[in-house]
Amino acid sequence: MAVAAAHSSFPARQKLETELARMAARVESNLAAVITAFERRDLAAAEQLIAADRRIDEFDRDIEVRVMALLEEGPLPQDALREVMTVMKLTGELERVGDLAKNVAKRTLVVSREAPARPTSGVVRMGRASLRQFSDILNAFSARNLSAAKAVWGGDDELDELYNSVFQEILLAMMADSNRVNACTHLVFIAKNFERVGDHATNIAEAIHFLMTGAPLVEIRPKGDETSTITVTPPNQSGIVGG
C-alpha cells in the first residue's frame, strides 16, 4: 500500500520541485534587479520590485498547498518525505530572501532621493557578493552537489568580513557629514539585508546536507559579523580620522 502511494505521488513531487525551481529563479532575478536599481538609483525599477514580491508570496502559498495535498495522500517513503521536507525548508528561505530584496527596494526609494553617499559603492559590492553566494547555493541544490553546498556554507564569513568593512565606512561617513545621516542609516540596513541573504544561503546549504545525507550539518558555522562591537574614531574638524 505504501509503495502504491509513493508511486502515485511521484508526478506531484516532480511538479513540486518544478514550482520550487520557478520560485528560486524569480527570487534570484529580483535580487539581481534590486542591486542594479540601487546602484543606478532607479526609482521606477525599485517600485516595480516592491510590487513583484507578491508573486513570490504566491509561489510560497502554492507550494504549501501542494505539500499538504501530498501528505494527505498517505505515508511517503523516507527519501520522499525528506525531499518534501527540504522543499518546505527551501521555500521558507526563498520567501525570506524575497522579502530582503523588497526591503532593499523600499530603502532604495529613500536613498535615491538624496545626494549620493560615499559608502554606496561598498554596499553594491556587498549586494553582488550576496547574489553570487545565493546563485551558487541554488546551483548546488539543482545539481545535488553536496561539496558545492558545503563550500557556500563555509564561505559565509567572507560576506561577513565585507559587511564589517562597509559598516565602518558608513559610520565614518555619518560622522563626517551630519547631512548624510538619514541616507547612511538606510545604507546600514541595506547592507545588513545583503548580509542576511548570505545567512539564508547557508541555511539552504544545511538543508541540502540533510536532503542528501539524512543527517543535520553539526559543524559550527563560521560567523564573522563583528558590527555589534565595532567602534570608530570620529574625524576631527579637518576631516582626518583620529587626528
**Domain annotation covers residue 161:** yes
| Number of domains present in the structure of the chain | 1
Predicted pLDDT of residue 137: 98
**Domain annotation covers residue 66:** yes
216 Rama sector, left if φ>0, alpha if ψ -120 to 50, beta otherwise: beta
Predicted pLDDT of residue 13: 85
Return the closest-CA partner of residue 16 out of 90, 97, 79.
Answer: 90
**Domain annotation covers residue 218:** no
Which pLDDT band, with edges at 50, 70 and 90, does 234 fall under? low
Q: What is the pLDDT of residues 81-109, one digit of tens each?
A: 999 999 999 999 999 999 999 999 999 99
Mean model confidence pLDDT for the chain: 87
**Domain annotation covers residue 226:** no
pLDDT higher than 50, residue 219: yes
Q: Percentage of the chain surpassing pLDDT 70?
A: 86
CB environment 21-39: b (16+ within 10 A), e (fewer): eebbebbbebbbbbbebbe
CA dihedral 132, 136, 137, 138 (to 10 degrees): 100
**Domain annotation covers residue 234:** no
**Domain annotation covers residue 203:** yes
Residues 6+ apart with CB under 8 A from 161: 224
**Domain annotation covers residue 202:** yes
DSSP the chain: -HHHHHHHHHHHHHHHHHHHHHHHHHHHHHHHHHHHHHHHT-HHHHHHHHHHHHHHHHHHHHHHHHHHHHHHH----HHHHHHHHHHHHHHHHHHHHHHHHHHHHHHHHHHTTSPPPTTHHHHHHHHHHHHHHHHHHHHHHHHT-HHHHHHHHHTHHHHHHHHHHHHHHHHHHHHH-GGGHHHHHHHHHHHHHHHHHHHHHHHHHHHHHHHHHSS---SPPP----TTT---PPB-TTS-BT-
**Domain annotation covers residue 158:** yes
Predicted pLDDT of residue 228: 56
pLDDT higher than 90, residue 11: no
Predicted pLDDT of residue 79: 87
Which pLDDT band, with edges at 50, 70 and 90, does 75 fall under? confident
pLDDT higher than 60, residue 21: yes
In which domain, by residue range, is 176 found? 2-213
Q: What is the mean pLDDT of residues 179-199?
A: 93
Which pLDDT band, with edges at 50, 70 and 90, does 7 fall under? very low
Q: What is the mean pLDDT of residues 221-232?
A: 58
Predicted pLDDT of residue 12: 84
Tell me, what CATH number does 34's domain have?
Answer: 1.20.58.220
